[in-house]
Amino acid sequence: MRRLYVTLASLIAIATGAQAQQPVKLSLDDCIAYAMSNSVTMKNARLDVQIQQAQVKQTTAAALPSLSGKSDLVHFSPKHQQFSFFDASAFNPQAPKGTISPVPFTIPYTASASVTLSQVLFDGSLLVALQARNSIMDLARSTEQVTAENIRYGVHKAYNSLVISYKQFEIIKSSLALARTMEQELIKTREAGFAEKIDVERTSVQINNLATDSLKVANMLTIAEQMLKYQLGMDINAQIILTDTSIEKNTAQLVQLVTEKGSYERVPEYTVLMNALKLNEYDLKRYKLAALPTLAGFTSRGVNFGASTFSGITQLDKYIEYYNGGLTLSVPLFNGFARQYQVREAKLKIEKTRNNIEYTKQSIDFQAATARTTLKNALLQIQSQKRNLDLSNSVLDLAQRKYKAGVGSNLEVTTAQTDLLRSQNNYFAALLEAINAEADLKKALGLLK
């Protein structure tokens, strides 16, 4: 029976491992959603928002009443009691004048217990901190949005680069298979005496070149796939299948994107700086109000007790109750000009943030203009390379038909294959450039959602 359990457990483990190795089908939206949930960078960005929220709650708590309790029990041994020294002649006429006698200042056991309630009534710095709570959270959330946008940007580029790599790999494999088929036909034709050795060797050279290119693209494909998994926060050993592979259909959308107008408010980096400017202005206000007095109220109630023996602490009727309350006014008079320099620092930070805002606006404009130009050129290249691709396919088809009909040469077919492969690579390179320009332009326009 024990052996049966072990066998069953092994089968379950094998089945579980096989299920875990099943490829995961992912669209571009699936990848973005996965990255939003599993990327360590995104997780930390969400934690930063929660940390900031906890800090804001701490500021709110400082404005609420504070209640604290305190109790203590003190024992003084006879050898270590606190003594006061007096002239014994002042209390005992028979004692010689100048005789100093120690008198115990404390009793062996003392106890006390109290409860204190305090409330800040006015504090300029605390008042400004409360006013800045929403702006602080806005800054934290906008920073989170910047992280999310960067992740989308990286996933968008990595996903489409991988799609292009897959297509290039399939093209090279197809070209390699076609070249090998032709090589076999040439070998048979040469054996029959209708082909020359140079034709076979020329095809062999083409096969070797295609095989080398195939290995290079396969390695690039592995790197591109691992890059995508890294962007997603996925195990690099996981198997994935991309479903959004029809990248040609997005050309019409790219043409429309070129004419899209920009808006600084949509760009997360701009929003971060605007929120930072608000906080800097609150900082300036806080330092200015630091010159005002602070006022706090307090009330305390408790009991005191003293006894010569420890057992006396249980005599509750001997405890003396007390109560007090009042106000504490703290007036800053002089702190070495620290506040004045704090105000100056806050003003300089505001000026610096405004400079950064203008610089960011210029950067957004520059990035948008550059991406638009790149996208326009890429779209023109796509049209041109698509025509070249169609022509290359026609030329190869004609060369193959002529070769099969016996009126064409192997060199024509080999040259046509090489030209077709070059046209295919140029076409997909133009598509990749357009897709990357799309990501750049959407990021500059704040549309990368």
- pLDDT in the model for residue 5: 39
Residue ranges in the chain whose pLDDT is less than 70:
1-21, 77-92, 101-106, 192-195, 249-250
Sign of CA dihedral 126, 127, 133, 136: negative
Enumerate the β-bridge partners of residue 428. none
CA–CA distances in Å: residue 202 to residues 178, 213, 403, 411: 14, 17, 15, 8
C-alpha of 104 from chain center: 67
Q: Does residue 365 contact residue 261 with C-beta atoms inside 8 Å?
A: no
| Length of the chain in terms of residues written | 449
Q: Does residue 188 contact residue 205 with C-beta atoms inside 8 Å?
A: no
> In terms of DSSP bridges, do strands 83-87 and 320-330 run parallel, antiparallel, or are they unpaired?
unpaired
92 CB-near residues (< 8 Å, 6+ apart): none
The two tokens of residue 282 are: 């609150």
386 CB-near residues (< 8 Å, 6+ apart): 427
- pLDDT in the model for residue 106: 67
Q: Which of 13, 358, 282 is nearest to 127 (CA)?
A: 282
Q: Does residue 287 contact residue 312 with C-beta atoms inside 8 Å?
A: no
- pLDDT in the model for residue 171: 84
